[in-house]
Amino acid sequence: MSEPLLMKGNEALAEAVIRAGCRAYFGYPITPQSEILEYLTAEARERGMVVLQVESELAAINMVYGAAGAGVRAMTSSSSPGISLMQEGLSYIASAELPCLVVNVNRGGPGLGTIQPSQGDYFQATKGGGHGDYRLLVLAPDSVQEMADFVFDGFDLADKYRNPVMILADGALGQMMEKVVFREYDPKDHETAKPWATTGKSGGRERNIITSLHIQPEKMEDINKHLQEKYRKMQTEVRYELIHTDDADIVLVAYGLAARICHSAVEMGRNKGLKLGLLRPKTLYPYPYDMVRELSAKVKGMHVVELNSGQMVEDVRLGVNGKVPVTFFGRMGGMIPSPEEVLASVEARIAQLHDEPREEQIYA
């Protein structure tokens, strides 16, 4: 373990990228994550990494395709509009089964939007995003510490499943400074054999081809079946954190920055005698449906809080499957609710539970 350091989220993430043995980063500047590109550029030469500022996010994601296909740990990072531009490439990468890391420091949208924090990219991150039937593994940090930790986990998971992994952060996590400790991690201990990589046809082996083109529909369906089988296996990677859920009447569900605000709101509510708990998914794909189901069997209601108009709430409803009412509170476009505001939404929700138990929506 390293000494505790005080670092910006984006910089802690970038430092972890180097320590995780990433060999190539390709990126294009966009607020609020340009520090990742800047940090890596400054460190690249001495620490033996290819770091390239390129002409667009399209170029960046396709360079990741090339480098990952050549068998090295490769990544890019961007923020919402840039990630939209990468969706084509991500679909190709998922289909060609190339392991890589993509970081989205989510900002407010739609459109050019704002540079303030948002969780408006939940659907884009967890439901595929580009064309075709595919999934990314999605990790959602809620602290500078996890901005670093999830880089190591992300590369390991990418290699384990030959699948792109996304870290879905937000502008606040990228910009804020907190204590971070880097784990002991020797990339050599985490190397995966990549006999499929295009490193040159030698040693009498067949040529390696990285492609997502399978023109025969029978073959394309087989590829799809294989991918779906892989996604089923990936369900075992689900990760979450539970806070005060043992005796909770109402469980809040939130990830990332929203979860931190909810944590404060839960503590404030507990001080007022309200039995509140918090479920914080750390993986957004795979999603902790089983835990949502389990909790829904013993609580009076679930209350989802997001920095969007209600995206993850759909997954909570799938998990709850009608057992208890599910309500939602969100702010959009880069606005961040205070813990007081969240608590007020919970209290309004409790009042509602007594009056009209099936009323399901609360909007800000």
3-state secondary structure 287-303: CCHHHHHHHHCCCCEEE
Bridge partner list, 281 = 240
CB 76 within 8 A of CB 25: yes
Residues near other proteins (CB under 8 A) are 23-24, 26, 50, 52, 54-56, 58-60, 62-72, 74, 88-89, 92, 96, 198-203, 207-213
**Smallest distance, Å, CB 45 to other proteins?**
14
**Smallest distance, Å, CB 71 to other proteins?**
8
**Smallest distance, Å, CB 29 to other proteins?**
15
Comparison of 71 and 154: residue with beta carbon closer to other proteins: 71
Using DSSP's 3-state secondary structure scheme, residue 224 falls into helix
Comparison of 210 and 362: residue with beta carbon closer to other proteins: 210
Question: Which of left, alpha, beta for 312 (phi over 0: left; psi -120 to 50: alpha)?
Answer: alpha
CB 86 within 8 A of CB 58: yes
**Smallest distance, Å, CB 215 to other proteins?**
8
**Smallest distance, Å, CB 75 to other proteins?**
11
Comparison of 205 and 272: residue with beta carbon closer to other proteins: 205
**Smallest distance, Å, CB 135 to other proteins?**
19
Comparison of 3 and 55: residue with beta carbon closer to other proteins: 55
Bridge partner list, 328 = 304
CB 77 within 8 A of CB 36: yes
Whole-angstrom Cα distance, residue 76 to residue 335?
27
Comparison of 200 and 273: residue with beta carbon closer to other proteins: 200
Comparison of 44 and 336: residue with beta carbon closer to other proteins: 44
Burial of 219: CB neighbours in 10 Å, binned 0-12, 13-18, 19+: exposed
Using DSSP's 3-state secondary structure scheme, residue 76 falls into strand
